[in-house]
Structure 1
Amino acid sequence: MTMTTAKPAMRPARPEFSSGPCAKRPGWSPENLANAVLGRSHRSKLGKARLKDAIDRTRAVLEVPDDYLIGIVPGSDTGAVEMAMWSMLGPKPVQLLAFESFGKDWVTDVTKQLKIPAEVLDAPYGQLPDLTKVRKDADLVFTWNGTTSGVRVPNADFIADDREGVVICDATSAAFAQPLEWKKLDMVTFSWQKALGGEGGHGVLILSPRAVARLESYTPAWPMPKLFRMTKKVEGGGGKLSADIFEGATINTPSMLCVEDYIDALKWASQIGGLAEMQRRADANLAVLDAWVEKTPWVAFLAADKAIRSNTSVCLKVVDPRVTGLDEAAQADFAKKLAGLLEKEGAALDAAGYRDAPPGLRIWCGATVDSSDLEALTPWLDWAFQTVVSELAAA
């Protein structure tokens, strides 16, 4: 490989490649948030109207079926997933797919905190579990797209049409970038800090009619924290869904500035062509990195199989023998130096791999990122690698 130390002539115009919170939409400005309901109660008529607007725009852009409910909940995507698991799991056997760090977190919460015996179908980073083992008579918890592994499920064919259990899908890095098969999913969660570049702290929870039926027919054995309660007790036992949560009311106080920012991102998504264009942009971004990896011997995708490779949280690993021959700690140090140099030069911010994942880089390719910035980035990736590997040789 030809070595050079010359810095590339052009930097990405927007070097924000963080996997969350992600890059703001192109053309974003604080002035776009002038309609934010500030200094007012979120329960005011105006506050509820903005929250309802966010819900309605979510349905339109994400193409959520009319009979599914959408609510804004606390705690980002994590809070939404926890609400789903604490409220619904227990009456049937449980299976969990664990192929990245957050899926592993859901395993811990189900088996250690809720103490529900569960079957865990796991796989190393970069791979998927054996999806043929998913049972139709069990509840299922899984991430559609592994943010920390760069792996996604290719479709929902592994979920039976006549399933008996409910399906809880953590879709936070898939929503707005990959086609979600709604008829196969009962509780879908995401945070707008991902594919729409929103601010952190808020989650979105989407319920199918089957999810509503489970919530109203099943009362968990454990105490339910207020933040997780989606039903109200009714006379004679059982519960009734708190429908106001899905009409603009919230369980706790949201940031109306963040809500306005979310509305701004949804407006942008609609203006550029909606869900299809959002997915096309993410695919085009992945294609830029794919073309570069194909001709670059020192790097490879963590997800070797194209069919399961994420088009949002793209994870890369160093495969040069001068690095792979190092011990694990030294490889991690190399990756840290690589990301640090990219940040120092203003070429890529927050591009380090997730702390629990194999050492490497993670580059967000969702729709709020422009392909032109990824094209400008790849020469910097080569330059940074050559610089750090040269320092390694000289040490």
Structure 2
Amino acid sequence: MTAQKPAARPRVPYFSSGPTTKRPGWTLDALSGAVLGRSHRSAAGKAKLAEAIALTREVLQVPADYRIGIVPGSDTGAVEMAMWSMLGPKTVEVMAWDSFGAEWVTDALKELRIDPILRTTEHGVLPALDAIDTKNNDVVFTWNGTTAGVRIPHGNWIADDRDGVTICDATSAAFAMALPWDKLDVVTYSWQKVMGGEAAHGMLILSPRAVARLESHKPAWPIPKVFRLTKGGKLIEGIFKGDTINTPSMLAVEDYIDTLKWGESIGGLPALLARADANARVIHDWVARTSWIGHLAVDPTTYSNTGVCLVIADPDILAKGDAVVKKVAAGIVSRLEKEGVAFDFGAYRDAPAGLRIWCGATVEVSDLEALTPWLDWAYAQEKAALAAAAA
């Protein structure tokens, strides 16, 4: 650690975990082709929505027999649409090790009241995957715990001959982590995560098994209009061809198309995965050589490569109690925001106090390399301030 301010600064100081930073080189000119002042149901509007779906399939490498739909309510809307429409006929297991997984627990337990089996752990610890009965039960889970920095390392725990459906919230994993499509029946994400798009819209991707569930199961509870995926016992196919349930922002659609085209231009999914891995490696390597900071994730095999969550590890600070730890973490964020060096990288409000640094594909390695000396500087300032106050 040094008390001297670093000379180099991140060129782009945005490290928020959502909305995440825009793709390299983005300007407002990227939206110049947006279909504005026209109905989203016009030929031009539908063509844009269909283009977004087609590019999603190509860049994300979604199997040809999976349906892709644009839905309201961001990732939250997409997950809840699947839960409200599909759950009920089988025992449901819900996994949670971060704040958003805990929301799906609340939905299953208190809203749908389906008496689920809960597989919950503290932030930083992945539930025991081999304890989950994916052969017989439905399963709801996040692939990457956005607020915990913990990701599922593989899909081997999911049965190939399963009778249930797997509902995967992949919002901070899609385009950054290899998703085993044959293991996943519902995949959801939002545009404002890995690809740096704008908010409000979610993506709902369904396997043939998921479609079969929708067409064979009538939920016991009322389904709000924005959650309805079937009519007369059949899938509403238009949703998966750009006929959205409610009015989408065509500016946001254009922005999503732009970032997909950027991903395609740099080499598609392999390049996006490699960028996220390289970015996360900068932070992981810095943590490994820095004594005052540590990972919230306990097992290195589960370290996220997008929302990397960190905690204060200095014994001197930990000994002073949670309130001081929280103050120091908040002080680091505040100092660097005042310096214009980094924005929005504090831990999520429901997570343990610390830092959360986004490392998805739209971030540049050079900006993360420039960030870490500033983190050391800010921590040194915070620790010195504590010592001075105690003197």
When the two structures are superposed, what TM-score results if normalisation uses the length of structure 1? 0.97
- Supply the distance in 2 between the matched residues of 1:115 and 1:4 (Cα, whole angstroms): 54
Distance of 1:29 and 1:143 partners within structure 2: 32
Q: What is aligned with 1:153? A: 152
1:55-110 Cα distance to aligned partner (Å, 9 max, x none):
00000000000000000000000000000000000000000111001001100011
Instruction: Choose 190-199 or 342-351, whichever is displaced more.
Output: 342-351
Identity of aligned residues (%): 62
In structure 1, the residue matched to 2:167 is: 168
Q: Could you say which residue in structure 2 is the equivalent of 1:39?
A: 37
Aligned residue number for residue 374 of structure 2: 380
Find the partner of 1:133 among 131, 135, 158.
131
Secondary structure, aligned partner of 1:107: helix
Match of 1:236 in 2: none
For 1:61, give the aligned amino acid: V
TM-score, normalised to structure 2, is 0.98
1:25 paired residue number = 23
Give 2:47's aligned residue.
49
SS of residue in 1 equivalent to 2:117? strand
Q: Give yes or no for contact 2:2–2:376 (8 Å, CA) kept in 1.
A: no
> Residue in 1 aligned with 2:290?
296
1:393 aligns with 2:391: no
For residues 1-395 of structure 1, what are the structure 2 equivalents within 5 Å?
4-135=2-133, 136-233=135-232, 239-395=233-389
SS of the residue aligned with 2:290?
A: coil
* Shift of residue 306, structure 1, vs aligned partner: 1.8
Alpha-carbon distance in structure 1 between the residues aligned to 2:387 and 2:36: 56
Once residues 287 and 333 of structure 1 are traced to their aligned partners in structure 2, the CA distance between those partners, rounded to angstroms, is 27
Cα offset, 1:332, TM superposition:
1.4
AA in 2 matched with 1:232: K
Structure 2 gap ranges (5+): none
- The separation in 2 between residues aligned to 1:251 and 1:70, in whole angstroms, is 13
CA contact (8 A) 2:229 2:235 kept: yes
Deviation of the 1:393 alpha carbon: 0.9
SS in 1 for 2:197: coil
Rounded Cα–Cα distance in structure 1 between residues aligned with 2:341 and 2:286: 16
- The gaps in structure 1 that reach 5 residues or longer are 234-238
Deviation of residue 322 (structure 1)? 2.1
Q: CA deviation at 1:43?
A: 0.4
Structure 1 residue 177: Cα displacement: 0.4
SS at match of 2:20: coil
Q: CA RMSD in A?
A: 0.7
1:327, CA displacement in angstroms?
A: 2.1
- Name the CA distance, whole Å, in 1 between partners of 2:64 and 2:300: 33
Structure 2 counterpart of 1:62, which letter? L
**Counterparts of 2:129 and 2:285, CA distance in 1:** 29
Mapped partners of 1:331, 1:372: distance in 2: 29
By how many angstroms is 1:295 displaced?
A: 1.2
Deviation at 1:321, TM superposition (A): 1.4
The residue type paired with residue 186 of structure 1 is: D
Q: How many pairs are equivalent?
A: 388
